[in-house]
Amino acid sequence: MRLFYALISCFFTDWLMALQSSSGGVSGLAWHLWTHGIADLNLPPHLEADAPFGIVGGHEGMCFHAKDGVASLPAPQNLSVHSTNMKHFLTWSPVILPGETVHYSVEYQGEYESLYMSHVWIHSSGCLLTEEPKCDLTDDITATVPYQLRVRATLGSQTSAWSTLKRPFNRNSTILTPPRMEVSKDGFHLVIELEDLGPQFEFRVAYWRREPGAKEQAKVVRSGGVPVHLETMDPGATYCVKAQSLVKAIGRCSAFSQAECVEVQGEALPLALALFAFVGFMLILVVVPLSIWKMGQLLRYSCCPAVVLPDTLVHGCERAAHLGEARGVCIWKGRSRYPCHQWMTRGSPGSQESVSRIQR
């Protein structure tokens, strides 16, 4: 019903404007009917238009535009930019048409395009005929200069007029937040891992030992997402860490994050570990020399085995010595090889002295 009244108002507006142009004015009754009756329909936003058509009594855009007899789309409204940590998003109020899917296209114009390229507008590659009422312009806004932004709606062959952001956007107005961080210990090493916010970000890390009069130390971390060693900690001490993000391209930094602390155990080594190390050292001192000696024995008997003279040969040699028949006979004594007459002269039974006594 409201749409029907809106269409009537459009035709009535044309009639009033024609009457005004022909007669130089309109009657007070007709003007009162328009300004206090049909003009106060309070139509929803998507039925309003943005071109200067039918401006009567201060009311602008109460009906769709007419272009060559075909109604065109209303333009998107309420454009705004939301920028956090150098991520820039343009948003707007969607154009709502029941049963229809409206698409949107976004264009931008930087300082260079405005001054040196005759106000050329550039299409945002990621926001061409998109259905979402928002556009990620992070890759398009690459300089710290004012950018003009605009968007329009498309439905089939129909397109709306362009809606332009009221104030140019500059990326140096982005909101910088403290980075998320994870503080841990690796033995006695203090380790931090920072959130990866992108290639434009660096981080300033401050850390200190939690005690009266402790002095903060600072370290610059070039990128996030990688564990970084900060300090070798003392046993029994507590260390605290905080960090802030820094963007050199815009010359700004965020506030510091909340401090996070870790505590190190008091003993340098647990008692059980020290005892185990001592026992292991003593075993090495005993076992290694014994093993070397035993290995030498095995090699010795493997390469040069000892030959033991049978008892029969030993007694036979002794008898030969008593009888003086030792020449040409050899025996083994241990590992030494002796002729029988030499063996007899070394003080063995049947030695030279015994033989001489027998002869006498």
Which range in 48-57, 104-113, 293-302 is most confidently predicted, on average pLDDT? Answer: 104-113
The answer to whether 253 and 176 are in contact (CB under 8 A) is yes
pLDDT digits 0-9 by tens, 106-129:
999 999 888 888 889 999 989 999
pLDDT digits 0-9 by tens, 138-172:
999 999 999 999 999 999 999 999 999 999 999 99
β pairing state of 201-209 and 217-221: antiparallel
Q: What is the pLDDT of residue 35?
A: 37
pLDDT digits 0-9 by tens, 240-276:
999 999 999 999 999 999 999 998 876 555 666 777 7
Per-residue confidence band for 357, with pLDDT thresholds at 50, 70 and 90? very low
Maximum distance among all alpha carbons in the chain?
Answer: 184
Chain centroid to CA 223 = 9
Residue 104 CB burial class (10 angstroms; 0-12, 13-18, ≥19): buried
The answer to whether 86 and 200 are in contact (CB under 8 A) is yes
- The CA distance from 320 to 329, in Å, is 9
- The CA distance from 9 to 47, in Å, is 13
Three-state DSSP at 158 gives strand
Chain centroid to CA 72 = 48
